[in-house]
Every structure is written in C-alpha cells, then in structure tokens.
Amino acid sequence: MFYLGFNVNFMSLFLFKIKCVCVVRSVMMDPSPRVLVTGATGLLGRAMCKEFEGSDWTIIGTGNSRAKPRLLSCDLTDEAAVRRLLSDSKPHVIVHCAAERRPDVVERHPEAAANLNVHATALLASLAAASGALFLYISTDYVFDGRNPPYGEDDAPNPLNVYGKSKLQGEREALRHCPGALILRVPVLYGEVTSVTESAVTCLWLNVESEEISALDHTQQKFPTDTRQVAAVCRRLCERARQDSSVRGVFHFSGNEQMTKYQMGVAMAQAFDLPSNHLIPLTEQPAAASAHRPINSQLNCSRLQLLNLGIEPTTFSSSIVECLWPFTADRRWRQTVFH
C-alpha cells in the first residue's frame, strides 16, 4: 500500500512539482496497480481506501477541504488541477466517490453541485478514456422515482430531486466520455463515521440515545448499506473488469434489509439493549420543505449477483454496532466489538 502524501493547498507550485516528480518516480517503480480514489476523505472514500489497502494496490487518495497527510488535496472542479493529478499519478483505475450528496444542499446550490457531480465527472471520465484507465462512478438509487420498485439496471430513471438529477447526468457524462466505464448505484450508506451526523443512518443514534420522545419517518422504505461492503464490491468489480472487458456499464448493489428510519432506530436500540419506546413512527410524509425523496427505490442487484463476486451479506444489527460503538458511553460494547 502506498498513499501519495502532499497537499497542494499549502505548498508552492515549485515544491509541488518537485514532490510530483518524486512521487511519480516512486509510483512508477511500484509494480502494483494504481487506484485513484476521489472523495477519499468522505464516508465511502475512506472505506474504499481501506479496502484497496488490504490488497495489492497502490492508492492515490484525494480529498478537498479535509485532505490530511497521506492524501492529496485536489479541487475536482479545477480543470488544470485535475489534469495535473491524472498526468502525475497515471492510475490504472479511478474510483470516483467525490460528490455533493446532501439532497437539501444540492437543492439550494444546484450550480456548485453540477460542477462537481456532473462536470468534474465528465472531465475525469474523458481523461480516463484517453489514458486507458478503468473508470468507476458511484451513483445512487435516487435516480429512480420510487413508484415502481424494485428497479433493474435498465429501468428508466426519473429522479425526483436535483441531487438525483445531477447524479443521473453524471452517469450519462461518464458513459458518454468513457463508454467502457462502470457505474455502481447504491442506496443510503452507513459505516465508520467521524461523527454520527455524517450519515443519514448513524444520525438516528442521537434520537435513540437521547431517550426523549422523537418521531421518526415510517413512510420511506430504505435499504441501509454498509460502506465496507460497497468498497469490497468496487474492488472486486474493478479487478474483474480489468480481466474481462465485457464487465462494463451499470450495476446495482444494496443491503437486503428494508427499513424505515423508525425501524432503523428501533433496530439500533435493540442492538445496544436500549429502550426504544420513546421512538414514535411518523406515518405521514415529511413536509415538502426539503428535497423530495423516493418512497421506495429498492434496487434489483441481479446483474451484479451474476458476477459471483463473493460478497457475503451482513446484518444491519451487527454492522451498526461496529459503526456506533465509539459513540456509546457503555464500555461493554467497546470490549465486545474489539474481541
């Protein structure tokens, strides 16, 4: 494993160039395949780096505002910086996780979101195609309207909100500029978080833990999916696609437990032996102040299943304990998970 370790924001261009030369020289001397993971500071990107790290890959991880040592800071909306990144690092595979994925933020700032979710994707895809790198774009179940689940890979998308539209446009740009691209659509994600509010799933912990009466949505059907599983799918999919050029196009991956937010909250409480009777199921659709969400955008994952990538399903109750134990005051859980 090898991360490229420099930060464009805090170095002069001169130092940047020198470092690039050193880095590229050492990267070129490393015989293992190179993967560029965008969004490596994010929820999925962190799991992605860990997954590739555990295999014979050299990782080039990029972030933006949160890039730390061992990660590269690169604003993907800066075309010159992206071109430099690609020409210096020469990846064999690009896993493009970076996105603005908060639907309410995208609704308020559609142009900024389009710059990242659409235009940066188009640029990365075209540079991948020009260099012969495999391009994997992470997309979302929000490309569907949720009225007629489950959705196969070829079903007609019809996003309800600006975020879903931007991700669908990103998919189309990826395939237009790089016809051999892979697209992986996934539903709501949870995983190792830096704060519980980082994921729409783990943030429910605040309701569970507070033991104050709280109403949780019980209308929208979700399929919470562990980022570690998504990362494992991505690595194996990339490895398979590098061997078999027929493995291309759109794939779906999803956890297989259907739950509303209310049911996730109850499952979390049960997993930690906590009371759940303060959680109230909200059976009316949330007010339309925020972006519209599909009622049930369940993904049919049969195309991916046919590849037999050997990903074993995990249960929500066990995975969520592994993600949330650092946030519980009860030390029993720390011991349980570690051993």
Ligand X SMILES: NC(=O)c1ccc[n+]([C@@H]2O[C@H](COP(=O)([O-])OP(=O)(O)OC[C@H]3O[C@@H](n4cnc5c(N)ncnc54)[C@H](OP(=O)(O)O)[C@@H]3O)[C@@H](O)[C@H]2O)c1
Binding interface with ligand X (CB under 6 A): 39, 41-45, 63-67, 75-77, 97-99, 101, 116, 138, 140, 167, 186, 188-189, 200
Nearer to ligand X, 76 or 267 (CB): 76
Least distance CB 328 / ligand X (angstroms): 22
Nearer to ligand X, 105 or 280 (CB): 105
Closest residue to ligand X, Cβ-based?
42
Nearer to ligand X, 20 or 138 (CB): 138
Nearer to ligand X, 7 or 276 (CB): 7
Nearer to ligand X, 92 or 102 (CB): 102
Least distance CB 147 / ligand X (angstroms): 19
Least distance CB 13 / ligand X (angstroms): 19
3-class secondary structure per residue, the chain: CCCCCCEHHHCCHHHHHHHHHHHHHHHHHCCCCEEEEECCCCHHHHHHHHHHHCCCCEEEEEECCCCCCCCEECCCCCHHHHHHHHHHHCCCEEEECCCCCCHHHHHHCHHHHHHHHHHHHHHHHHHHHHHCCEEEEEEEHHHCCCCCCCECCCCCCCCCCHHHHHHHHHHHHHHHHCCCCEEEEECCEECCCCCHHHCCCHHHHHHHHHCCCEEEECCCEECCEEHHHHHHHHHHHHHHHHHCCCCCEEEECCCCCCECHHHHHHHHHHHCCCCCCCEEEECCCCCCCCCCCCCECCECCHHHHCCCCCCCCCCHHHHHHHHHHHHCCCHHHHHHHHC
Least distance CB 137 / ligand X (angstroms): 8
Least distance CB 307 / ligand X (angstroms): 20
Least distance CB 28 / ligand X (angstroms): 25
Nearer to ligand X, 39 or 159 (CB): 39
